Structure 1
Amino acid sequence: MSANPAVAAVAASGIDYRVVEHGPVRNLAEAAAARGVAVADVVKTIVVRLADDDYRFVLVPGDRVISWPKLRALLGVARMSMPDAATAKAATGFERGTITPFGSTTAWPVIADERIRGRAISLGGGRHGVALAVAADAAIEVLGATVADISEAEPPASKP
């Protein structure tokens, strides 16, 4: 297996971490179960595009979604978008489902939802089936993340 830039970067950061390897998962609930954590502690790293070649990593608890009005207000922008999978990989070096701020090909600014503070979290680990278990506060510090209220409760699934 070739070197994993996410694992190398978290190791180089000096924070305590644990690599959790698991088999394939189909959704967030399966990822939480495979990692032995609550869904809220699986932190999604979402790439958002503000403009051409201007991205942010947004860290959101697994049981929540980005509040686009809150995020736009924080960033002072009228619009932003989520890039397609190929563009996200070009911007970060990671495939969707594995994205993490640790070891990205570009160190885009990080915005963390305030609800992850004080928690032990699980982030994408740069490869499918690999997660990084870290203390959120340590990750926030080494990533220089802006912490704000930028999420909302996941809307209930619609019934068919």
Structure 2
Amino acid sequence: MTKSAGATAGAAGGAGRDRFLADAAARGLSVHLVERLAANSLEEAAQILGIQPGDIVKSLVVKHKDGSFLFALIPGDRQISWPKLRALVGVNKLSLPTAEVALDATGYERGTITPLGSTVAWPVYADRTITGRRISMGAGAHGYSAFVDADALTAALGAVVADISEPN
């Protein structure tokens, strides 16, 4: 099953997928939604999708000490560089919240998180290594992935693109 940004998602996909598609459409962003088998790891998800783990971009929710949040878009084969992200944001403390806090902050469960359709439009920071290619990312519901042009995504989100990651 595939859907484009303007398509109706249907009840089976849930509200998260609907929010994802509606936000992508509102931003004029072309996304290709793919239904996929459940995966137990990023590597397994990449294999199911026929891509490399680095082509899957993780949307990580990061918490400021003041209680606000941001999204960090990181390739699957890399991890956040906390010193680089803290320096860019201009703070001395950032952390990954619990799954429950991330759900409250975005309206998405872990494994489905995306800045598109988040219940709050938190700032987005994208690692520079995602640019210049087509990527896969969460689509707001388990069992779905979205393919999108990374440059169009970062532009549509007004993301800060910088060096914020390091190899796993």
2:148 counterpart letter in structure 1 = V
2-side partners of 1:135 and 1:77: how far apart? 30
Q: Determine the C-alpha separation between the residues in 2 that align with 1:28 and 1:60.
A: 12
Structure 2 counterpart of 1:30: 44
Provide the TM-score with structure 1 as the length reference.
0.93
Task: State the SS of the aligned residue for 2:94.
Answer: coil
Selected match of 1:129 from 143, 151, 154: 143
Q: Deviations over 1:20-70 (max 9, x none)?
A: 110110000111122222111100000000134410000000100000010
In 1, Cα distance between equivalents of 2:132 and 2:101 = 32
Give the corresponding residue for 1:157. none
How many Å separate the matches in 1 of 2:92 and 2:150? 29
1: distance between equivalents of 2:65 and 2:143?
31
Corresponding residue number in structure 1 for 2:7:
none
Which of 77, 80, 91 is matched with 1:63 structurally? 77
Amino acid at match of 1:75: V
Paired with 2:143 and 2:61, the residues of 1 have a C-alpha distance of 19
- For 1:15 and 1:98, the matched residues in 2 are separated by 18
Secondary structure (helix, strand or coil) at the match of 1:8 reads helix
1:5-154 residue pairs with structure 2 within 5 A? 5-154=19-168
Counterpart CA distance in 2 for 1:52 and 1:76 is 13
Aligned residue identity for 1:70: K
Q: Does the CA contact (< 8 Å) of 1:18 and 1:132 recur in 2? A: yes
RMSD: 1.0
Give the conservation status (yes or no) of the 8 Å contact 1:7–1:132: no
Unaligned runs of 5+ in 2: 1-10
| Stretch moving more, 92-101 or 4-13 | 4-13
2:134 partner letter:
A
In structure 1, runs of 5+ residues without a counterpart are 155-160
Q: Normalising to structure 2: TM-score of the pair?
A: 0.88
Letter in 1 for 2:101: T
Among all aligned residue pairs of Structure 1 and Structure 2, give the percentage whose two residues are the same amino acid.
52
